Each structure stands twice: as C-alpha cells, then as structure tokens.
Structure 1
Amino acid sequence: MPADDRRVIAVVVTFNRLAMLQELVERLDQVPGLAEVLVVDNASTDGTGEWLAGLDDRDAGADHPTVPVLGRTLATNSGGAGGFHDGLAWAMERGADLAWLMDDDGLPDPDCLTTLLAEDDLDFWGPLVVDREALGRLVFPIRLPGGTRVVHELADVVAAARDGRIDGIVIPFNGVLVTRDLVDRIGLPRSEFFIWGDDHEYRLRAEAAGARIATVVGAQVRHPAVGSLGTPMAFSRTTYNHSPSDLKHYCMARNNLVNLRDYKGWPHALAFVAKTAWFYTFTKPSAHRLGLSLRAMYAGVRGDFTGHERYLR
C-alpha cells in the first residue's frame, strides 16, 4: 500500500499525568499524517477521564486539537501492558494500517512521524528516545547489534547507523509504528504483564515471527530522564535493574523470568534467578526484596499474573 494511503492512528496510554497528556495531544495536532488519536486512560484519578470526555464538545480552532481525539477510560488500572493491549485492538477495529504507540510522557518531534513513514520496508520500527533536558543523551540506552557495546549518547548511535537506521533494534511503545499485518500475525501485547517487560516481550515475539525491525535515528521522541537503568554488581562486571518500587520490581522479576524462559530457555532464566539472589544478598542486601523476587518468579513459573495487585496503591 502506498505510504500516502496508509491510515495511521496514534495510541496513547495514560495514567495520572494529565498535564503531560495535554501537552502530548497538543503536539500530535502538529503532526501531519495522523488520522486520529486514541487515548486509553488507565482509571486515572486526576481528572483525565473528565478532560477526555470534554473533548467531544470542543470546537475546532487554533486553540484546540483538529486531529480527532477519542478517549476511553478503563474501569480499573491495567498498567501499560493492558492499556496497549486494549489500545492496539481499538486501533485495529478503527481500520488502522499502522498504529503509532506511545506513553503519555513522550513528546515526538513534529517531523517524527514523517521521518518514520519514509521507511516503507519495515514491520515494527521507531525513533530514538532522547532526554528532553539533554537532547544529546538517550533515555533508554541501546545495545548495538553484533556485539555487547551499549551506547548512551546520540552521537554514538548516529555514527553506528547504516542508511539512517539501526536494524534489529527498537525501543517499543515509545513512538513505535507497528503494521496491521504484524498485529494479525503475532497478536496483541500481553495484558497480564501489567508493567515492565510487556514491550520487550512484544519485540521478542515480533522478532521470532521474522518481523523487520529498526530504529530510525533521524526520528526523535523527547522523554523525561528516568535515571540509571542499571545498578553495578559483581565487581562492576554487570548491572541489575533495581527499582525502589516494590510494584515495579515484582513485575520486572516475574515478567523477565517468563520472557527469558520462553525466548531464551531455562539456562538463561536460571541465570537471572542467580543474578537476583546475588544482588540482594551481596550488592544491596535485602531479605525483603529477595523474598519478593522469589515470590514473583515462582508466580511467573506457575502462570499467576495477579500477585502485583497487592502492591497497587
């Protein structure tokens, strides 16, 4: 299908970040090529649902979005995983040829979608995600293909790119495009994951299906910094994704173990168990966090994806 004929629908998942959502919706109004914007609200308590409902009554004009914006408030918080599961299904129902998936805290450059759409031989591809306060630095580091090098600076990614992109790498759900054909082949994100690892699992599933994946270095989404994503351990030979949030850690431990087991095999999954045990025994000793990790992993092995609910507030 010619690029100009493709129906592109943006899917935004939001939770209790109304100001950021409003800024994003205003930006999306400046992005050419969008058919409409679908906002999935994860039962926010900050007025997001009411604001979305009010968009139905707005007048088109200079002070209002002109791209149609539709909102859907879920009955309960289903996390990013549930939000993207429902939002992507909604986009397919509304006839999307391409779904443009993003969280509420990213801000795509005005030419981001146009730059992405110039690549017409891909199934699952997205932009670089840069620190909105330091545009030369990546928010989510990239491990370059063919080695173990992880880069944090925009200049390093640009230097490594071939024909303007890094093939085989994408940072999911931060301004990524996915084709209807790929969704038909691999289905929707795993809603039961709630948060953490759902985006990685979707990429792994796409990769296993032979999808053509890439990061387009000329396209950018500006995103708040998230701090260090890896705490050094084992004499600084490796890192561990330690989060102060019990909710995030529970989901990470459970979902990461499941992903490793399903896509890499039990040896990799057991290595992750050992790494976690080392980290919370020697690097950052915590009997509480070690016990939480083991409970989460055991739940994942048993296929129980409800344990995180006890940590919701």
Structure 2
Amino acid sequence: MLRRQLDRLHEVVAGGELHEVLVVDNASSDGTGAWLREQAATHPHLHATTLAVNSGGAGGFNHGLAWAVDHGADLVWLMDDDGLPEPDCLTLLLQRDDLDFWGPAVVAAQEPSRLCFPIRLPGGTRVVHDLASVEAAAVDGLIRDVVIPFNGVLVTRELVARIGYPLAAYFIWGDDVEYLWRAQQAGARIATVVDARVLHPATDDLGTPMMGGRTTYNHSPSDLKHYCMARNNTVNLRRYRGWPHVLMFWVKTLWFYTLTKPTRGRLRTSARAAWAGLRGDFTGHRRYLR
C-alpha cells in the first residue's frame, strides 16, 4: 500500500498542488527505511526519516507535523500509510479556503459506497455507515464539525500554532480524536468535504453492535489496540467530556466483554488500561508490542 500511496502522491506533486512529501518510518526492521532512502534519492520532493524507536501512529504524526511546520509549510496533508486518496482528492479539498481542519470522506476500499469509519451526524445522535447518508446530510458539500483525523486531512499552520501537535504518548488509538476535540475546543473551522474521497481498508470490528443494537462498541481483536483504546478513551472523555461520559464508557466496556462478547481477559486488560489513564501512565502498552 505504501508504494501505491507514494505513486499517487508523486502524481499530485506533478500536478503542482503538493510541494513536498515526508514519510515517517516508525523504526521498522523490514528494510522499509532503506527502500525509502532509495526512493528519496530519485524524487527530490520526497523526504524520509526513520525514528529510533517505535512511537506508534501518534508519534509518527507528531514528528511529521512538527517537521512540516519547521520547514515552513502553511498547509499540511496528513495520512496513514494504509489510505489511498483518489486522484482528485486534494484538488477538491483545496477548493475550500475557509476551513482550518478538513478532510475527505473515508470509504471502505472493498466497498466504496460504505464508510470505513461510522460517523455521528451533527445535531443529533444518528450514526451512519453509508456514503449515501453522508451525501444526503451535506450542506454546501460539507458535513460541518466532522472529520476523520489523519486520513487525508488538511491542517493549517495557524491552527497548529494555536493547539500544538498530536500527543505522541498515546501511541495509537484516540490520538486522532484527541486532536479533533482539541481543535473543536479552540474554535477551529472543521468539516468533511463529501466529494473528496480516501479509500481505506475496512475495519469491520469498529462499531460492533451491542445492547440489542441500540449502541456500538469499538472492539478490536488486538490486545495492543484495545489497551490503548481503553486507556486513551478514558483520558479523552475525562478531559473533554466529563466524568459521566467516562462512567458510561466503562459501563459499555463491562457490558460488552461480559454479555456481548464474554472475554474475562479483556476485562482485566480494560481495568489496567483505565487505571493507567487515570494515573497519566502512558507506558503500559509496551508489554503488548511484538
């Protein structure tokens, strides 16, 4: 996927809308760093850096955004290595010049009519899973105050100066939500541009139905992802939404792994992660690294 993504970005650079590309190699051991350096040698606009230790997606975005700002970028396009923007994605995003933090609709690569990540439409509690519902809800081609961070999003230098960088300590999961909520708290102008698209591998465990379908839970088969989700979500909800939301999240976790998908080990992991979040300890995920 990284090779396809770089090919697409080279095309965008050739079109004049993108000036420099930085790839952050997160301490890989499979030769990716050497391959990237070879690519950079033949593409003057491509820069590659290999981090000394694996700092997860959060650390990668922290490093990459700081690099871009230090190198004078006024506007930064952020994305994971598993997303593929459509050829006209950046063109459509750049047509909007009245936003601070905005991005494309992120659709399932296997079924582009379906959203890769369910979203809650503004002004209510309705959660939608299909692109048609998003298109129907759009006003002037936008879903205001909603964006899927770090999946082909644009962020302005001015907003970064106001709110800072993604939190590297989060490692994975929840760093994107935290950055979005921080931007919202700062009064940033946020939106999804419905016509712009990024293809992303479907993550079908996200939004697993529970409580008879009345709500969903972000279950992951990965212990590492679950630990980070439970820890970071506890911190995010406590910081930005308050204790009632923290307690509701804990109740949902207890319900899900007791009744929906009984897993005693997950309950223990969840408890350790939540306690770590309350203590401000962001080191516990390391036990799950392979």
TM-score w.r.t. length of structure 2 = 0.96
Letter in 2 for 1:78: S
Aligned letter for 2:77?
W
Q: CA deviation at 1:236?
A: 2.4
Provide the C-alpha distance between the structure 1 equivalents of 2:230 and 2:37, rounded to a whole number of angstroms. Answer: 37
Is 1:152 aligned to 2:140, yes or no? no
Deviates more, 1:248-257 or 1:151-160: 151-160
- Name the structure 1 match of 2:7: 26
Partner of 1:108: 85
Number of corresponding residues? 287
Deviation digits for residues 17-66 of structure 1 (CA, Å, limit 9, x no counterpart): xxx111111101111311100000111122110111112432xxxxxx5x
Q: Unaligned 5+ residue runs, structure 1?
A: 1-19, 59-64
Report SS of the residue matched to 1:270. Answer: helix
- 2:170 pairs with 1:189: no
1:170 aligned counterpart, secondary structure: coil
Tell me what 2:25 maps to.
Answer: 41
1:58-207 equivalences in 2 (<5 Å): 58=42, 65=43, 68-207=45-184
* Residue 55 (1) aligns with residue 39 (2): yes
Determine the structure 1 residue equivalent to 2:195.
218
Match of 1:262 among 239, 246, 250: 239
Code of the residue aligned with 2:37 in structure 1: it is A
After superposing the two structures, state which structure 1 stretch, 290-299 or 263-272, moved more.
263-272
Q: Does 1:252 align with 2:229?
A: yes
> 2:161, 2:81 → 1: CA distance?
26
SS of residue in 2 equivalent to 1:129: strand
* Distance in structure 2 (CA, Å) of the matches to 1:243 and 1:202: 22
Q: Distance in 1 between matches of 2:86 and 2:114?
A: 16
Q: What is the distance in 1 between the residues matched to 2:18 and 2:48?
A: 16
Q: In structure 1, what is the Cα distance between the partners aligned to 2:60 and 2:40? A: 21
- In the other structure, the counterpart of 1:308 is 285
Structure 1 residue 177: Cα displacement:
0.2
Distance 1:102 1:183 in 2: 16
Looking at structure 2, the residues matched to 242 and 274 of structure 1 have their Cα atoms a distance apart, in angstroms, of 14
Which runs of no fewer than 5 residues in structure 2 stay unpaired? Answer: none
Taking structure 1 as the reference length, what is the TM-score of the superposition?
0.89
Instruction: Map Cα deviations across residues 65-108 of structure 1 (whole Å, 9 max, x no partner).
Output: 5x611000011110000000000000001110001000011111
What's the RMSD between the two structures over aligned residues? 1.1
